[in-house]
């Protein structure tokens, strides 16, 4: 009987532990993904809002430090936060169907329901998966890498 109990405990699936996260490429994120998140996600009424689980900071949008000059260069803390927030919505077991990819994709193109698609009444962020910006997100989730010196376009202006 005791050995059966031990066996049951050993087979129990942990439900409260941290979920596995993929070690997605940071330079690709900073250089290629961050501009997409800035452009499409980070507006103050959207994922720049402080009530969002997936919150994105960006120049001229929400800033981590509320006293920061709105268009000041992004800080390393903000970039760290954005990277962690994006990784957190990538499903390590099924990356292709991660929320990062499914939410902004129109349901007609295979995406999932996204409140953002209803806010302005004219569809989701990406009408189709072949959108070049969507492809950047998909490539990152699929493991694309970038040179460590890659700089986000415009970030030095």
**If binding is defined by CB under 8 A, does position 155 make contact with other proteins?**
yes
Alpha helices for the chain (secondary structure H):
2-11, 26-28, 34-40, 76-88, 99-102, 115-119, 132-141
Closer CB to other proteins, residue 46 or residue 87? Answer: 46
154 exposure class (CB count in 10 Å sphere: 0-12, 13-18, 19+): exposed
**If binding is defined by CB under 8 A, does position 120 make contact with other proteins?**
yes
The one segment of 21-29, 68-76, 92-100, 140-148 that binds other proteins by CB under 8 A? 68-76
Closer CB to other proteins, residue 96 or residue 130? Answer: 130
Among 125, 136, 137, 141, binds other proteins (CB under 8 A): 125
Alpha helices for 89-131 (secondary structure H):
99-102, 115-119
**If binding is defined by CB under 8 A, does position 70 make contact with other proteins?**
yes
**If binding is defined by CB under 8 A, does position 113 make contact with other proteins?**
no
Q: How many CA atoms lie within 13 A of 78 on its CB side?
A: 21
């Amino acid at each position: 009987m005791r050995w059966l109990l031990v066996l049951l405990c050993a087979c129990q699936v942990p439900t409260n532990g941290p979920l596995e996260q993929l070690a997605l490429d940071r330079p690709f994120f900073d250089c290629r993904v961050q501009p997409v998140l800035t452009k499409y996600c980070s507006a103050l009424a959207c994922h720049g809002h402080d009530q969002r689980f997936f919150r994105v900071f960006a120049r001229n949008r929400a800033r981590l430090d509320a006293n920061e000059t709105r268009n000041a260069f992004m800080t390393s803390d903000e970039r760290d936060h954005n990277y962690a927030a994006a990784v957190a919505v990538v499903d390590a077991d099924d990356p292709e169907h991660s929320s990062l990819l499914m939410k902004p994709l129109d349901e007609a193109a295979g995406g999932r329901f996204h409140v953002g698609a209803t806010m302005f009444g004219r569809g989701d962020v990406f009408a189709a998966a072949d959108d070049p910006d969507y492809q950047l997100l998909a490539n990152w989730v699929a493991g694309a890498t970038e040179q460590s010196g890659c700089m986000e376009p415009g970030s030095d202006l």
